Structure 1
Amino acid sequence: MYRLKYSPFAAVLAAIAVPLHAAEAPSSLEQVVVTAPTMADPPTVVTDPKAPRQPIPAHDGADFLKSIAGFSVIRKGGTDGDPLLRGMSGSRLGILLDGQEIYGGCGGRMDPPTAYVYPESYDRVTVLKGPQSVIYGAGFSAGAVMFERDLKPLVEPDWALDGSLTVGSFGRNDQVVDARGGTPAFQVRAGASRAHADDYEDGDGTKIHSRYTRWSTQAAVAWTPDTDTALELSMAHSDGEAAYADRGMDGSRFSRDNLALMFERRELSPLVEKLWAQAYYNYVDHVMDNYSLRDQPLANRFSAMNPDRITTGARIGVVLAPGEAWRVTLGADAKEDIHRGRSAMNRASGDAAEDYFESLPYEEDMRFRQFGVFGEVAYRDAGGGRTVAGLRIDEHAAKDGRRCVAGMFMNGMCMMVPANQTRGETDRATLTSGFMRYEGVLGDTTWYAGLGHAERFPDYWERLLRDEDTLNSAFLSIKPEKTTQFDLGANWTSGAWSGSLSGYIGKVQDYILLTWIAPSRVRNVDATVVGLEADSVWRFARNWRATGTLAWVRGENYTDDKPLAQQPPLEARLALEYDDGTFSYGGLLRMVADQHRVDVGSGNIVMNGQDIGRSPGFAVFSVNAGWRPRKGLLVTAGIDNLFDRTYAEHLSRTGVSLPGFVFPADTRINEPGRNLWLKARLALD
């Protein structure tokens, strides 16, 4: 039976993931984050992934992001949910790890990109909302999320160590360590994390098939000959396993290997402010099976599938300062993405299934190539306002290597699906994206208005399904998606009050919509999206503050005169917090409205990620407390879902019938009941 395996590459990284000297210690330990941080610069949100959060997230990127207004998650159980920003999921939302794009391997989105993200191993998470930049990648119509690590020059030898330990209900047990240090000429950074949770129970005490174990190691060495130059080589390995309540298989391998080289040079001349270049390699090796994490499979038929994905890419850019008020960014990026797979179905045992698929060569089913050039110009006027505009042009190509359409090739034939008529064909497109935004200052208010356009090449999952009309391959018939969106917002401060408000309205031509009523198929429709996000902070007394956030989105499928499928309901959060520097206390009330705007059977690229009907609203109350006994030490504790409510998110997947579990197979998967947790974080320098 397959279990977690440690490759030689992993062993090397694990050996060096020990406390080392660090470049810069954290300046402070933050209080518990219970609502989204306010917008930093329009339209950007920046937050610290090491800070404790409530409700406590699973140790992955999607559950971390759901604390930010505008994000929601398609839940499948304990971990590895699929994130949405403003109701948009999949490749509409860019996920970048230190500037690198990463994709999952599973055809059913068991492992979205955020499944390979370990948030606490990063120093900063930056969210750019809407099509308001062209620097970070192609087709990001919803926005982009950057998980980033710092590399700063040292003027003298220095070190730092940051670590945390988390325990909680349902067997929760996490450990994270991050160490860095060096001299003015050389720096080293290494870290490791491990997270585990057992099956959780909902508010009624019903056990949900949801346990997981995840671990990661990463290391980097940098040469910094002076304060303006850096050359860094980094590598990482991670793996894990996760049980899912929404499908007939679990994930028994989530292996990722990464290697990256980055160069940066600042202040080359009065004109050239910064020059940077990066090359990277990401390999994802994923295994799903029906025997490693669950009881005896149905009819004793042991099956496993092993997709993998190889992504290589490079980026280069320069920032120019032709005048004091001007900044010009020019650059190019390219990547190649290869998806392959192999499988073993209906074997006599788990060992037999593993031995069989590992004896097979991988077979390539799709290959993608992209090359793009981009430029952004920013101008700051005498009144403090700023105008930003950008344009990018991308050449895309996708080659179809599948033998079958939306199915499996076994024993020399396609199983209950047609043979693929587009096998060997290549789809090509030249796509253009751009934006223009003005940021103004009026007293203590910063406001912005931007118009953006993003053209998105159909991704792997959208090309897998059948054409709506022919019921054969949609690989060549599906059109690129084109989003034009207007964003308007403001950040403001007035005495004890501060906050932000943003709204958007977008027209999506050729929106790619999936239908999961058999036979599953894909087509283009025209859609409109409109939404609103707001947050406010009131510091009404010394050491006290009240915080609130609101997120609302409404999508319309104009082709069918229906609501756009898989849209999150209205959500609001209210928090009351006390913090005197030594002790802190807080409470969070999360309120979610009912959702009656649905299109049953339609949805997104998550396997069977479809509307199943209306959902009721709910409210959940949580509390937390913190203690800073000394500098560099923070202990926090909390109770999520204090009143043990039984509820499910509107976007949660439906469960499946599993041996040993009584959860109904035709209803949404419920969230955890009352959850107690304790976290200690130590920062040394």
Structure 2
Amino acid sequence: MLTFFRLQPLTAAITLAFSSTLAIAHSEQQDEPTLQLAPIVVTAQNEYTEANGLMIHADPKQPIQPIPASDGAAYLKSIAGFNSINSGGTNGDITFRGLFGSRIKVLTDGSENLGACPSRMDAPTSYISPESYDRITVIKGPQTVAYANTGSAATVMFERDVPRFDADKPYQGQASVVIGSFGRIDHNVDVAVGNDHFYSRLNANRSKSNSYQDGDGKTVPSAWEKWNADLTLGWTPDTDTHVELKAGKSDGEAEYAGRSMDGAKFARESLGLGYTQENLGQYFKKLEAQIDYSFNDHVMDNFSLREFTPSGGMSMPMSSNVSRKTINARLAGTYDWHKLSIKSGVDHQYNQHASRSGMGNSYIDAGRSKDMQFQSSGIFTEISYPLHPQYQLVTGIRADHIEVKDLREASKISGYNTKLAKTLPSGFIRLESENSDATLKSYVGLGYVERMPDYWELFSPVHGNAGSSNTFNGVNPEKTTQLDLGLQYEQGALRGWTSIYAGVIQDYILMSYHQHAMGSMSHGISAGAKNVDARIAGAEAGLAYQFTDRILADASLAYAWGENHSEHSALAQIAPLEGRFNLRYVADRYSLGAYLRAVAKQNRIAYHQGNIVGYDLAESKRFSTLSFNASYRLNSSVDLSVGIDNVLNKTYAEHLNKAGNAGFGYASEEQFNSIGRNYWTRLSMKF
């Protein structure tokens, strides 16, 4: 288990702070003529939106049900349309509208950290502790071109704000402790000190859990322990200038019921420098520049976190150590000229992947072998223009030049082509409208993006398209054309929204799992990549009604549909129709909530097809879970939240859960179940 960063002192500090705050609670209450409303536990997409519903904003510092998220994927599942491919208790890999991987652009403070595992055991969201950020923004579909290698499904941004201080209070922060079933305990601290010109901010957290039990009381290997620490130093010499230096480290380990190896190390190091200058002239409103470096060092093995059992073609204790070095750079300017607003810029990304392996821990003495080098340079422009007081036109265009090199010695010896170079365009146009009294808002947008195959699609499969020499030379870039529409309505006690999409994907990169002459994965089959043409469509919708001043109900639905048009079959690894219903009672100091999640069966599957992490095994069964939550505001600074997830202790498996590993006693292609009844409590304090 981890020994480097236990954060035990953090427990004592949080406890002392809570005790001190509670001790003065009574006197505070006497001085306060009114009380703030009780905090509400987040259970579904009820956060505020932008661009008439196209962009969603969430506050990750709020309590959330099910039990507060241990990583980015666990939090995003609370937003309609998102799901996760689960291997165990943490570090799932997100899907959005049935799409996966680099089709979803995930950014932290404007930078991308890609992870290193060839089977995405350390997906980008694995390195994200949501509560360390102030805001999460989701842009649905290909409706922005402002970031490198634009995501075709969605762009997700985890962002931190610049802290502001009062003259008589040179500090601010938030701390929380979560305690739950199965040994779950989390500590989170976010503290900043400074003045008008300088500040420093520390985000630190630790999360730990034992393996959980499903509804039948069966233990599912899923324990984890992880920590993150990020330090930011800022300089604000005047109200228009901001310079920021940040550095971070993290590590962790995780057991996986659905893999033949566990994650023994998830080390991250990062360093970044950012500069922002506003109001440079009459038309030049803002200049942004940043450069970020990250290094991921990931170890997976079959012996340190589990009892070694020969399985999956591994007859000896083995370990694999992979790494990725990434550099992101970006320069962007915002210009306002009469009614026209223009954001334009350039960006660059360089990343290099390496690996080493061996019996036991022998890899430590081996040199790292570089296998991939990737770099892209892009230029973009986004423009918005008000056509009418009720209509706004937003459009953007981008071009990326991308070069990928295959550095494997075996490829050179075989005489394969070892360099791919592509210049790929993307763009969108969107009309946003709002009626005169702002009760009805809508948007309609058309987007196009070409996506270079990522590391996992170029290097992890055994082969590419039929007739290709190897995978690196065997898959083509994807080309996605998608129509997005949305509607928001709010009047009186009623609020509703919907987002609808339909798309055509040429050269969709699909993984097909079967026996190969060389290479193997779980259950004796491995992935081959191929391009197919696909069709996608679906919608997310929500409705909320305020029955009284204290009683509120809301519901949401999410449905994704996909077709492999080339083979006239279903597109694989798409989560089924899902509905969420929430009933709340909110008083001055406390709130009570009941949350029902209902998931339909998925009968549209493509057997043994999917992505680099998972594939369809069988049609899934429908299920529903009922959860309760409550919160209480102890005073203006301290909140207490409690929850019971899966109250009825249902036994179920998510459609996207991986098959359990044979080494844990699972039958061939038997999915592991999700967590049973789970109790938790969260105490948080702002200061």
Question: Is TM (by shorter chain) over 0.5?
Answer: yes
Counterpart residue number, 2:456: 461
Is this contact kept in 2: 1:49–1:125, CA < 8 A?
yes
The residue identity in structure 2 corresponding to 1:675 is N
Q: Aligned partners of 1:11, 1:265: CA distance in 2, in Å? A: 39
Aligned match for 1:359, one of 337, 358, 365:
365
Instruction: Indicate whether 1:312 and 2:317 are aligned.
Output: no
CA displacement at 1:30 relative to structure 2? 3.6
Greater Cα offset, 202-211 or 156-165: 156-165
For 1:425 and 1:36, the matched residues in 2 are separated by: 45
CA contact (8 A) 2:465 2:531 kept: no
Q: How does 1:134-145 map to 2 (within 5 A)?
A: 134-145=145-156
Q: Which residue number in structure 1 is paired with residue 239 of structure 2? A: 227
Supply the distance in 2 between the matched residues of 1:33 and 1:403 (Cα, whole angstroms).
50
- Pairing 1:109-508 to 2, within 5 Å after superposition: 109-154=120-165, 156=167, 158-298=170-310, 301-323=316-338, 325-345=339-359, 353-354=360-361, 356-403=362-409, 421=414, 425-442=418-435, 443=437, 444-464=439-459, 465=461, 466-470=463-467, 472-508=469-505
- Taking the aligned partners of 2:83 and 2:247, their CA distance within structure 1 comes to 30
Q: Which amino acid aligns with 1:683?
A: K
Partner of 2:589: 582
Are 1:594 and 1:615, in contact at CA under 8 Å, matched by a contact in 2?
Answer: yes
Report SS of the residue matched to 2:662: coil
Q: Quick one: which of 98, 101, 105 aligns to 1:94?
A: 105
Which AA in structure 2 matches 1:436?
A: I
Displacement of 1:424 in angstroms is 6.3
Structure 1 distance, partners of 2:158, 2:321, is 27
Give the superposition deviation at 1:469.
1.6
1:5–1:665: structure 2 CA closer, same or farther, 3 Å change rule? farther
Q: CA deviation at 1:470?
A: 3.7
Asked whether the 8 Å contact 1:565–1:599 carries over to 2, the reply is yes
- In structure 2, the CA distance between the partners of 1:632 and 1:663, relative to structure 1 (3 Å rule), is farther
Comparing 675-684 with 471-480, greater Cα deviation is found at 471-480
Mapped to 2, the partners of 1:201 and 1:468 lie a distance apart of 42
The aligned amino acid for 1:439 is: E
Match of 2:676 in 1: 673
Does the 8 A contact of 1:422 with 1:473 survive in 2? Answer: no
2:524 maps to what in 1?
none
Distance in 2 between residues matched to 1:559 and 1:450, nearest whole Å? 26
Task: State the distance in 2 between where 1:170 and 1:100 align.
Answer: 34
Deviation at 1:516, TM superposition (A): 1.4
CA contact (8 A) 1:29 1:51 kept: no
> Does structure 1 retain, via aligned residues, the 8 Å contact 2:42–2:63?
yes
540, 547, 559: which is aligned to 1:540? Answer: 547
Contact 2:38 2:587 in 1 (8 A): no
Q: How many residues align?
A: 644
Q: Distance in 2 between matches of 1:454 and 1:229?
A: 34
Q: Which residue of 2 aligns with 1:550?
A: 557
> Please, which moves more after superposition, 250-259 or 577-586?
577-586
Query: Which residue type is aligned with residue 507 of structure 1?
Result: V
Seen in structure 2, the aligned counterparts of structure 1 residues 248 and 491 have a Cα distance that, compared at 3 Å, is same
Secondary structure of the residue that 1:95 maps to in structure 2? Answer: strand
| Residue in structure 2 matching 1:639, options 636, 644, 661 | 644
Describe the shift of the 1:108–1:482 C-alpha distance in structure 2 as closer, same or farther (beyond 3 A): same
**Structure 1: which 5+ runs fail to align?**
20-26, 346-352, 406-418
Q: Cα–Cα, structure 1 residues 178 and 152, in superposed 2: closer, same or farther, change >3 Å?
A: closer
Q: Secondary structure at the match of 1:467?
A: coil
Q: How far did 1:583 drift?
A: 1.0
Q: Which residue identity is paired with 2:432?
A: E
Aligned amino acid, residue 40 of structure 1: T
Aligned partner letter, 2:685: L
Q: C-alpha distance in 2, partners of 1:422/1:476? A: 12
Change (3 A) 1:422 1:121: farther
Cα 1:155–1:642 shift into 2, 3 Å: closer
Indicate conservation of the 8 Å contact 1:139/1:454, yes or no.
Answer: yes
Q: 1:265 to 1:153 in 2, by over 3 A?
A: farther
Matches within 5 A, 1:556-575: 556-575=563-582
| 1:36 and 2:27 correspond | no
Distance 1:327 1:382 in 2: 15
Q: Distance in 2 between matches of 1:471 and 1:265?
A: 50
* Cα deviation digits, residues 431-463 of structure 1 (max 9, x gap): 000000010012411100000001100001101
User: Residue 595 in 1 paired to residue 588 in 2?
Assistant: no
Aligned-partner residue type, residue 428 of structure 1: A
Contact 1:529-1:553 at 8 Å conserved across structures: yes
**Structure 1 residues 271-280 or 490-499, which shifts more?**
490-499
Query: Are the structure 2 counterparts of residues 500 and 39 from structure 1 closer, same or farther at C-alpha, using a change threshold of 3 Å?
Result: farther
Q: Alpha carbon RMSD of aligned pairs, Å?
A: 2.0
Partner SS for 2:49: coil
Q: After the TM superposition, which of the residue ranges 150-159 and 582-591 deviates more from structure 2?
A: 150-159
Q: Is the 8 A contact 1:130 1:143 kept in 2?
A: yes
Alignment-mate amino acid for residue 51 of structure 1 = Q
Secondary structure of the structure 1 residue equivalent to 2:75 = helix
Cα distance in structure 2, aligned partners of 1:361 and 1:681: 46
Which whole-Å deviations, capped at 9, do the CAs of 1:91-113 have from their partners, x for residues lacking one?
00000000001111111111100
SS at match of 1:63: helix
> 1:519-538: per-residue Cα shift (whole Å, max 9, x none)?
23111000010011011111
Aligned amino acid, residue 83 of structure 1: I
State the one-letter code of the partner of 1:445: L
Corresponding residue SS for 1:581 = coil
Q: State whether residues 144 and 150 of structure 2, in contact with CA within 8 Å, keep that contact through their aligned partners in structure 1.
A: no
CA–CA distance in structure 2, aligned partners of residues 29 and 361 of structure 1: 56
| Structure 1 CA distance for aligned equivalents of residues 13 and 112 of structure 2 | 27
CA apart distance, 1:181: 1.9
Letter paired with 2:651: T
Change (3 A) 1:35 1:458: same
- Aligned counterparts of 1:373 and 1:161: Cα–Cα separation in 2: 38
Q: 1:404 to 1:61 in 2, by over 3 A?
A: farther
Question: Unpaired runs of 5+ in structure 2?
Answer: 15-35, 517-526
Q: Report the Cα distance in structure 2 between the residues aligned to 1:381 and 1:420, rounded to whole angstroms.
A: 60
- AA in 1 matched with 2:552: R
1:626–1:634: 8 Å Cα contact kept in structure 2?
yes
Can you list the C-alpha shifts for 1:344-396, whole angstroms capped at 9, x where unaligned?
A: 03xxxxxxx22x21111110111101000000001123423211000000000
Does the CA-based 8 Å contact 1:38-1:500 persist in structure 2?
no
Q: TM-score, normalised by structure 2?
A: 0.91
Shift of 1:492: 1.2
* Of 485, 496, 513, the match for 1:516: 513
For the structure 1 residues 488 and 195, does the alpha-carbon distance in structure 2 shift closer, same or farther, using more than 3 Å as the test? same
Distance 1:278-1:644 versus aligned 2 partners, 3 A rule: same
Structure 2 counterpart of 1:393, one-letter code = A
The residue aligned with 2:662 is 657
Per the normalisation by structure 1, the TM-score is 0.91
